[in-house]
Amino acid sequence: MRKCVATVLPLLLSSWVTASDLIKVVVDITPTETVVLERHEDADIELDGDLTEDVWNKLDAYDEFVVLEPDTLEQPEHATRVRLFYDESGLYLGIDMDQPADSLIARLSGRDRRRINRDSINVTLDTSGEGRYGYWFGINLGDSLSDGTLLPEKRFSNEWDGAWRGISRVTENGWSGEFHIPWGTVAMPISPGKRRIGLYMSRKVAYRDERYGWPTLPRTRPKFISEMQSLEVNGIDPKQQYSIYPFTSVTDDRFDDRVRYRSGADLFWRPSSNFQLTATVNPDFGAVESDDVVINLTATETFFPEKRLFFVEGQDVFVTSPRARTQSMGVGNTGTPTTLINTRRIGGKPLEPELGSEYSISDRELDQPVDLLAAMKVTGQAGRFRYGVLAAFEDDFKFDAALNDDPIHLEGNPTDYGVARILYEDAPGGAYKALGLMTTATLNEQRDAMTHGLDAHYLTAGGKLKVDGQLYLSDIEGEESGTGGFVDFHYNFRQGVEQRLGIEWADRHVDINDLGFQSRNDYWQIRTAHTRTSSNLSWARNNQFDVRGFIQKNGDGYFTRGGIFLANRTTFHNLHQFTIRANFFPESYDDLNSFGNGTYRIEENPWLGFSFDSDRSKPFSYGMGIGTHKEKLGGDTIITRLNFTWRPSDRFALTFHTRHSDRRGWLLHQEDRNMTAFDAEQWTPRLSAEYFVSARQQLRFSLQWVGIKARERDFYLVPDRPGDLIEVLKPEGPSDSFSLSQMTMQLRYRWEIAPLSDVFLVYTRLVDHSGSLKSFSDAFSDGYDDPMGNALVFKIRYRFGS
C-alpha cells in the first residue's frame, strides 16, 4: 500500500524542480516482504549525488527506518527515503535525507575511518542470499567512503576496499547519497534466473549521535545478516572481470644512504561471481601507514593489526572464529586474538640465523622486514563449500653483520608461506551449522612449521545461542607436536542482555606463532562476560554495564592469572560520557616474565579508574581520565590521560592524546634469575593533523612517542621452586636504571586519482634513543642522532581493466 508524504510543489515557485520537489511516494513494507527491484538498462545515471535523473522520479521510495542507537526503536525525527534499481552493471541506490542545514556535520577523512562522528548513509548487502557472507558500503557527507565485509551473524570488518562509487550532496531539505555497486565487485554464488540479496541500511545523524536502521536490527539483538530485508533481482550473471594495478616506487633511505627503485603489479581476476584470484608481484608496502609506537618489556608479544591492502582484502574465508578478531564495540575490554593466520608474519622479521659466538648482528638488522617476491590468493564457492588458498614468497636478502668485529654480509634464509582453507555451511533455513578446516605452512631452510585446525560453528534458529569452537595442532620440525583448542558460548537473554562463556586450553608444546598468533601455551582458562545495555532512560540517553572475569592455571597446576572486571559507561542526554572501571586481580603466580627462569608469586592487584569524554559531534571535543592500581609486589601506580580533537572545518582535524604513568615498584626481569623493581615515569603522547584538499586528496602528519625513565629500587631473585621472590642486595655490576625513547614521525600525502588508483608521497622517521636519557627533553634534541630509519617514499599505482 502506498502513502503520499508530499504533494507536487507548485511549479510557479520555480522554473525548474529538483527531485526533492517532486511527489514522494513512500511504500509501506513489512520485514518479511520481498522488494522486487526494477531493471533499467538505459537510466543514464550521472553519479553526482543529485537525484534528478528521470529514473529516480519513477521509483517507489522506502522509509522504514527506526532509531537503533540508542536502541529505542522509535520513529526517527528526520525522514530517509530510499530508492533502488539495477542494471547489467550493478545496483544503484539513491537516498534523500531530511535534516536542518545548520545541523549537518561533514568531516572528511581517509577511507574506513568509522569512529568519527559525522553524518553518513550505509548499505549492507548479503550477496550470498543465504546469510553466509556480505559486504557493507558507506558514504559520509563530504564523500569520504567506507567499506568492508560481513560474516554471520554480525562480524563486521573494514579490511576490504572495493571498486564502487558513492557521492553525497547537500540539498534544500538536507542531503542525499548516491551509490553504484558493480556486481563484479562482490562475491555471489551462481544463481541463474531470480536471485535473492539481503539488504540492511543505516543512517548516522551526528548532531544527535543517533543511528537509524532498516530493517529493525539493533546490535542488542542476536540476529542480523540472516534477517535482512529481501531484494529480488533477475538475470544477473556478472561478466568476467580483471584488473591490473601496475605501480612504481622510489625510496630514499637516509639511514643506509641508498635509493631503491621498485616496480611491480597487483592483479585481480574474477572469471565468475563465485571465484576470485588476486596476486601481487614484487610488491612494495613502503606507503603503508605506520604502526603505533609500543615499548613492550614483558614476555607476551604485542599484536599489530594488518594494514597492507593485499592481505586485508578477501580475508573473510580465512577467519576461523570470532577470536581471530577482538575488536570491541562495547565498554568491556577484550583480550589478544588466537588465530592460525596472522599475515603480519609474512614479510615480517626474518628468522635469526644460527651462528657461532664470533658473529654478531645488530637488533636493527633482525627487526627489518623482508621484501616479498610475490603472493597469490584464491577464494571461491562451490555449492555449500567455500574455500581459500594463500601463498607468499619472500625475496632473497642479506644481513649486515660482523665476524670478529669485521663487517660482512650474511645470506639470509627467505621463507615461503602457504594457507589452505575450506568451510562447509549447512543449507539455509533453521539453525546455522558450519564446519571448517585450515592448514598453514611456513617453510624455511632452518625449519619448517605447520599447523592444522578444525573449527565448528552453530547458531540456533532464533539466534539466542551461538557456539564457536576450534581444535588446532602444531607440527614444527625438530620439536614435539602440540595441541590446543577453545569453545565459546554466546547467549542472548533478551534485547540488551547477553552472556558469554569461553573455555580454552593449550599444551606446553603447541606453538602456532610462525604464521599465527597466540599469547601463550601450557595453560587452561575459563572466562565469562555479562553485558546489559539500557536505553531511553529518564536520567541518561543510554547506559552499558559490563562484568566479566576469568581464571587461568598452567600445566603444572599453578594459578597463573585471574580477575574480575566491572565497567559502566553512561551517555547523558547532552552526549557527554562518563565511564567507571573497577578490577581486581587476586594473588597468583607469574610463569612467563622471568623468561624461562622460574615461577614466582605476585600479590593481589586492585584497579580503579574514571574517565570523562565530551560530545564528539562538536568542533572541539575532549576527554580525560585517571586510574590507580597496585604493582605486582604492592607499589602504587597512577595513570592519567588527556585528549582532544579540534575540527574547525570539515577539511581539517587536529588530534592530541597523551598518557602518563607514575609507577612505584615496576617489576622487570634483568638476566638469569635476577629481577629488579623500579620507580618509573612514562609518557605516551600522540599528535596527528589531517588536511583534505578534497575527499580524494589527503595530507596527514602524525607523531608518536614513548618515553620511559626508570630508577632501580629493590632487587630480587626468582626462587628455585614456585614461591615468593627472594629480596637480595644489589648484584655487582652497573646500575639497572634505564631510559627508553622511541618515536615515529610520518608525513603522508595520498591522492586517489581514480577508484583504487593512487599517488603516495610518504616521509617516515623512526628514532630509538635508549639508555642515556637524563630528561625527557633529550629525546627531541640529540636523540635525533640515533635514528632507526629515515625514508622518503614515492609510489604511484593505476588501475587498468574491465
At 169-227, the pLDDT tens digits run 999 999 999 999 999 888 888 888 899 999 999 999 999 999 999 999 998 888 899 99
* Three-state SS at 407: strand
Give the integer Cα–Cα distance in Å for 179 and 157. 20
| pLDDT for residue 329 | 58
Q: Which residue has the higher pLDDT, 797 or 331?
A: 797
* Host H or E run for residue 56: helix 54-58
Q: Which residue has the higher pLDDT, 587 or 328?
A: 587
Of the given ranges (248-252, 461-465, 578-582), which has the lowest mean pLDDT?
Answer: 248-252
At 383-442, the pLDDT tens digits run 899 999 999 999 998 888 888 888 888 888 999 999 999 999 998 878 899 999 999 999
Whether the predicted pLDDT of 499 surpasses 90: yes
Q: Which residue has the higher pLDDT, 401 or 645?
A: 645
Please state the rounded mean pLDDT for residues 269-274.
84
At 140-159, the pLDDT tens digits run 999 999 999 998 888 888 87
Whether the predicted pLDDT of 777 surpasses 50: no
User: What's the Cα-to-Cα distance from 280 to each of 231, 257, 277, 310, rounded to whole Å?
Assistant: 36, 28, 10, 8
The proportion of the chain whose per-residue pLDDT surpasses 90, expressed as a percent, equals 64
Q: DSSP code of 20?
A: G
pTM, two decimals, is 0.87
| pLDDT for residue 293 | 78
All three cell numbers of 276, joined, read: 576470485
| pLDDT for residue 257 | 73
409-442: string of b/e by CB count within 10 Å (b at 16+)? ebebbbbebbbbbbbebeeeeeebebebebebbb
Of the given ranges (61-70, 361-370, 521-530, 636-645), which has the lowest mean pLDDT?
Answer: 361-370
Whether the predicted pLDDT of 548 surpasses 90: yes
At 365-380, the pLDDT tens digits run 888 889 899 999 999 9
Question: Phi first, then psi: what are they for 202, rounded to 5°?
Answer: -140, 150
| pLDDT for residue 801 | 60
At 336-369, the pLDDT tens digits run 889 999 999 999 888 888 888 888 888 778 888 8
Give the integer Cα–Cα distance in Å for 346 and 362. 21
All three cell numbers of 578, joined, read: 562518563
Whether the predicted pLDDT of 783 surpasses 70: no
pLDDT band at 661 (very low <50, low <70, confident <90, very high): very high
| pLDDT for residue 331 | 63
Residues 513, 518, 523, 525, Cα dihedral to 10°: -160
Of the given ranges (2-11, 154-163, 253-262), which has the lowest mean pLDDT?
Answer: 2-11
The proportion of the chain whose per-residue pLDDT surpasses 70, expressed as a percent, equals 92
Whether the predicted pLDDT of 778 surpasses 60: no
pLDDT band at 287 (very low <50, low <70, confident <90, very high): low
Give the integer Cα–Cα distance in Å for 36 and 1. 15
| pLDDT for residue 788 | 52
User: What's the Cα-to-Cα distance from 91 to each of 45, 161, 164, 231, rounded to whole Å?
Assistant: 12, 17, 10, 11
| pLDDT for residue 322 | 87
Nearest to 296 by CA among 288, 304, 284: 304
Residue-by-residue DSSP string for 411-435: E----EEEEEEEEEEPPSSSSEEEE
Residue with cell 587536529: 654
Please state the rounded mean pLDDT for residues 671-698.
94
Please state the rounded mean pLDDT for residues 312-330.
78
| pLDDT for residue 4 | 42
Chain-centre distance for alpha carbon 110: 14
| pLDDT for residue 292 | 78
At 713-766, the pLDDT tens digits run 999 999 999 999 999 999 888 999 999 988 889 999 988 887 767 888 888 888
112: left (phi over 0), alpha (psi -120 to 50) or beta: left
8 Å CB contact between 446 and 412: no
Please state the rounded mean pLDDT for residues 668-695.
95
As a whole number, the mean pLDDT across the chain is: 88
Residue with cell 640465523: 353
Whether the predicted pLDDT of 239 surpasses 80: no
Whether the predicted pLDDT of 784 surpasses 50: no
pLDDT band at 26 (very low <50, low <70, confident <90, very high): confident
Whether the predicted pLDDT of 776 surpasses 70: no
Whether the predicted pLDDT of 786 surpasses 50: no
Whether the predicted pLDDT of 17 surpasses 50: no
Please state the rounded mean pLDDT for residues 484-513.
95
At 99-154, the pLDDT tens digits run 999 999 999 998 888 889 999 999 999 999 999 899 999 999 999 999 999 988 88
Q: DSSP code of 74?
A: P
